[in-house]
Structure 1
Amino acid sequence: MADPMMIYFTAVDNHGGIIVQGTPKFDLDLYIQNYKGRTRFDRLFLIGRSSVALCVDALKAAVAEAKRGRDVGRYREAVESLRLAAPNEPEATFDQAWIDVTETSNRNETHRLTTELKGYKNNLVKESIRMGNEDLGKHLESIGDLNGAGDSFNKMRPDVITPKQIMDVGKHLVRVSLQRREWSLTMAHLNKMGGVQLPDDDHTLQTYIKVAQGIAFLGQERFQEAAMSFLQADSEVGSSNYNEIASPNDVAVYGGLLALASMDRDSLQEKVLDNASFRTFLEREPHIRRAVTQFVNGRYSACIATIEEYRTDYMLDIYLQRHLPKIYGAIRSKCIIQYLIPFSRVKLDTMQAAFGTSEKPIEGELVDMIKAGTLDARINTIDGLVTVATPNPRLKMQREALETAQNYEKQAIDRLRRMGIAAADLEYKGQRRGGSVSNLMNSGPSFQTELSFDESMG
């Protein structure tokens, strides 16, 4: 008889899911305690669909999380997945009584809130209409109707007055957009929030915006902009202000990895290691700080080894999973390029020992980098050497000499022209345009006027 777990992950793979074979370092119960709201289910369900080691535990936790809420669709999805992976578990059986009661309650609550909102609209009380739309939107979000929730939250906009109300509407819309993976729409809502005038010492909202912006940039694979957003988050702001979308540990991991993938050594030192606020985030994930320090200090193979230890953990993150191969690839390419800079030739065996693995020889990776144009080098497979292309110093000197001569000639002509103007007893008053050299010449030397002069002449 076939193993149910094998059948389950075969089905996941056939539907385009990512399967993670290794065992992660984090404890599932401690990990999920960092979050609140609907993201808890999203993260548990992703782990259950991806991790071979944590599949059953994560799906059981996802079933329990769904039953604490009101989203029947999520409950059905989690139970169905658990039934395929571990059919003998008690949680793998549908609780039809709970489903019936919850669906009835959801319908009644939707009807009640809709009726109340119609009454508020008839009375034309703006504050009541705003609160009615907000209550209906929260309810629709809780039962999984994200489209309806987004519409309700959008309808709040004409009735908001205070900056706090504008911020609340923005947070509702950002939260829904992130759940729907609508990155451009998320950025649009965040931009509206950023335009609201708030006290200079109010870092709570700014940190929320930076964290949400970073996630949206990450979703669009704009890694450097995402890194800058996470690096600007204020560590003194409590995680309760943004743990519906991410945790402080996530900020450290996202910011550190994306900075490694997109920034040079000087920027890493200045914006990551010397950043007092972000350093507090890094204290939660010391291996990220260690990897950045190793890169800055030129210990490139150690940097790669450090982040590889945690690849399994990051492959189970809802925002990193799809982008992690590209992020890790960018970090490896940077390390290899930086490693080769001091040398004109390096043995392939040395490169293999520093960066290669038994499953993936370094030679193939170097060939891919050369074809992509990220590495300017040649590989001599006979002698086992990697020859790095270096600039011709003679050619460089000749180009610099020619550029210097051209600049000198331009300056000399400029000075001669000014001397000629002075000798003709004409007045030169700088860069104003509109004068004509021919008109000045026809006016005679005794006529003083402004001379306009195009910098491109000469």
Structure 2
Amino acid sequence: MADQHLLAYFTAMDNQGGVIVKDAPKFDLEMYVANYKGRTRFDRLLLIGQCSVPLCIDALKAAIAEARRGKDVQRYRDAWECIRMAAPDEPEARWDEAWVTATEKENKSETQRLEAELKGYKNNLVKESIRIGHRDLGEHLESIGSLNQAADTYIKMRPDASTQSHILEVGKHVISIMLQKRDWAGVLANASKALTGNLAGEEHTVEQPYQKVVCGLAHLGSAKYYDAARCFLEVGDPSICQQHNDIASTNDIATYGGLLALASMDRVELQSRVLDNPSFRNFLEVESHIRKAVSMFVNGRYSSCLDILESYRNDYLLDIHLQKHVAPLYSQIRNKCIIQYFLPFSCVTLDSLNTAFAKPGESLQDELISMIKSGVLNARINTIDKLLVAVSVDARVAMQTEGLLAAQNYEKEAIERLRRMSLAAANLEVKVPPKAAGSRLDGSMGPLPGVGEIWLDEARRNENSVDTTMTS
């Protein structure tokens, strides 16, 4: 009976376009969630409960418990709706009306109290008290799930922010709201405004990991994989990043940085920015499979690299930031491996490619055709001999093209020289005065005047001479 409810639940999720992961991931759910704090814990638990068949019930139970520890009634309702369909016989599937009523009443009372305090602070005209009042009200609104009102309240702190630390605090609060709303452009704008322009020296060094993490997540959400990879690779010390596990954990930074670098960087950059990067090497220690995958690619063992990544696909599909990008990232990495494997050869048998990259019993031909059509792979397929043949550049055509370009450049330069000679013969050129470069005709120093200024000075001198003659 329980299996029937679970089947109906995931069938409904599949019809809604959700991602369904049937196999168990490699991580332990309790240890995975223990890496996070704040509101992201519930988001990750709910995502696992909606996508992972083996971990569905446990994740939804943990999401219910996490929601009840907070004050956001809507989050409890979302988790309850899921577990009610997936496991209606579980104790957590019973609606707790008493808790909901008490929490809503308490939230309303707390909101009114904070608004009254803020109104009193505004009447007293104490800037610091007004700033703290806006901060407390914003944090409360964020905790109960009113993200838009919380963002407006945080923004009202800016006129009363008198120090760099206050401006930084406002920026972090606003960025937290933007991350939850998946407003990636807003994240980048606020990170640039609050973190880059107002910090200097040691304070900038301390806040750099936070800036790199939020900018990396924003670029990842916008599918700018190269920019995101550079941000994650430049995060810095892992011990500092543990302070920001309400956004992402150290394991996430290692996974995001390595995977995005594999998809967007060449072999030289992978060696210098990932493997030889002393600061990012510390991150790779917590996710050793990412380091192995990058090393396999750099060393030309492409099939082993793809096998490692494929074994962790289920883990990445259950990541709140990475889920939507797993398919394009894996496709880009796979295309790079095929291209690098084929690059040293003029032709390769399709059987060898199938052995290296295709699943047992499947052919790589359709994938190669799509790569050729999209322009990713410069080759053609010989279906008779079952070969992938590189399209070589015709040396004769290349030489003729280069010669034609040289002739066109020579013709253009000859025309310009003839025009210069004609101007000199007609005495239309402006000659440089015999004095040193950088001095004017009147002896003053400065940049040389243009042609119009020379004519204007000459006209003024003629006018002055005429006035002098008339006066005499």
Regarding TM over 0.5, the answer is yes
In structure 2, relative to structure 1, the CA distance for the partners of 1:438 and 1:206 (3 Å cut) is farther
AA aligned to 2:369 is V
Secondary structure class of the residue paired with 1:3: helix
Residue 103 of structure 2: aligned partner: 102
Evaluate the alpha carbon distance shift between residue 293 and residue 406 of structure 1 in structure 2; reply closer, same or farther with a 3 A threshold: farther
Q: Is the 8 A contact 1:207 1:237 kept in 2?
A: no
SS of residue paired to 1:16: coil
Amino acid at match of 2:23: G
CA contact (8 A) 1:223 1:261 kept: yes
> In 2, Cα distance between the equivalents of 1:26 and 1:220?
27
Unaligned runs of 5+ in 2: 438-447, 450-472
- What is the number of equivalent residue pairs in this alignment? 436
Q: 1:83 deviation in Å?
A: 1.5
Q: Is the 8 A contact 1:163 1:196 kept in 2?
A: no
Identify the range of structure 1 (303-312 vs 237-246) with the bigger mean alpha-carbon deviation.
Answer: 237-246
Distance in 2 (CA, whole Å) between partners of 1:414 and 1:47 is 70
- Tell me how far apart the structure 2 counterparts of residues 53 and 239 of structure 1 sit (CA, whole Å): 31
1:6, distance to aligned residue in structure 2 (A): 0.6
| AA aligned opposite 1:195 | T
| Distance apart, 1:232 and its partner CA | 0.8
Paired with 1:447 and 1:286, the residues of 2 have a C-alpha distance of: 72
1:332 to 331, 334, 339: 334
Following superposition, the deviation at residue 135 of structure 1 comes to 0.5
Distance 2:72 2:415 in 1: 79
**Alpha-carbon separation, structure 1, partners of 2:41 and 2:345:** 49
C-alpha contact (below 8 Å) 2:242/2:250 kept by paired residues: no
User: Deviations 1:55-114 (Å, cap 9, x if unpaired)?
Assistant: 011101111111111111111111221121111111111222211211111111011001
Q: Which residue of 1 aligns with 2:386?
A: 384
284-293 vs 10-19, greater mean Cα deviation? 10-19
Q: Among 360, 363, 381, which residue is 1:361 paired with?
A: 363
Q: Percent identity?
A: 54
**Helix, strand or coil at the partner of 1:190:** helix
| Structure 2 Cα separation of the partners of residues 314 and 34 of structure 1 | 16
CA distance in 1, matches of 2:125, 2:49: 48
Change (3 A) 1:123 1:345: same
**CA separation of 1:359 and 1:250: change in aligned 2, threshold 3 A:** farther
**How far does residue 404 in structure 1 lie from its aligned partner after superposition?**
6.7
Per-residue CA deviations over 1:355-397 (Å, capped at 9, x if unaligned) read 1114853111111111111111111222211111122234445
**1:35-434 alignment, distance < 5 Å:** 35-202=36-203, 203-358=205-360, 361-399=363-401
Corresponding residue SS for 1:378 = strand
User: Partners in 2 of 1:402 and 1:100 — Cα distance?
Assistant: 82
Q: 1:340 to 1:89 in 2, by over 3 A?
A: same
Partners of 1:90 and 1:341 in 2: CA distance: 59
> What whole-Å deviation, never above 9, does each CA across 1:139-165 have from its counterpart, x for those lacking one?
011011111111111111111111111
Which SS does the other structure have where 2:114 is aligned?
A: helix
Contact preservation (8 Å) 1:204, 1:241: no
Q: 1:248 offset after TM fit, Å?
A: 0.8
Per the TM alignment, residue 26 of structure 1 is displaced from its structure 2 partner at its CA by 0.3
- Quote how far apart the aligned CAs of 1:118 are: 1.0
Q: CA RMSD in A?
A: 2.8
Structure 1 CA distance for aligned equivalents of residues 373 and 210 of structure 2: 41
Deviations 1:137-191 (A, max 9, x none): 1001101111111111111111111111111111111111111111111111111
The answer to which of 4-13 and 230-239 deviates more is 230-239
Q: How far apart are residue 237 of structure 1 and its match? A: 4.4
* Separation of aligned partners in 1, 2:110 and 2:7: 41
Aligned partners of 2:87, 2:379: CA distance in 1, in Å? 52
Please say if residues 354 and 362 of structure 2, whose CA atoms lie closer than 8 Å, have aligned partners that are also in contact: no
> Per the alignment, do residues 89 and 441 of structure 1 end up closer, same or farther by CA in structure 2, a change over 3 Å counting?
closer
For 2:455, the equivalent position in structure 1 comes to none
Q: Which amino acid aligns with 1:241?
A: Q
After superposition, the Cα gap between the structure-2 partners of 1:447 and 1:220, relative to the gap in structure 1 and judged at 3 Å, is: closer
Instruction: Tell me which residue corresponds to 1:7.
Output: 8
Q: TM-score normalized by structure 1? A: 0.88
Shift of 1:29: 0.6
SS at match of 1:346: strand
Counterpart-to-counterpart distance in 1, 2:81 and 2:13: 13
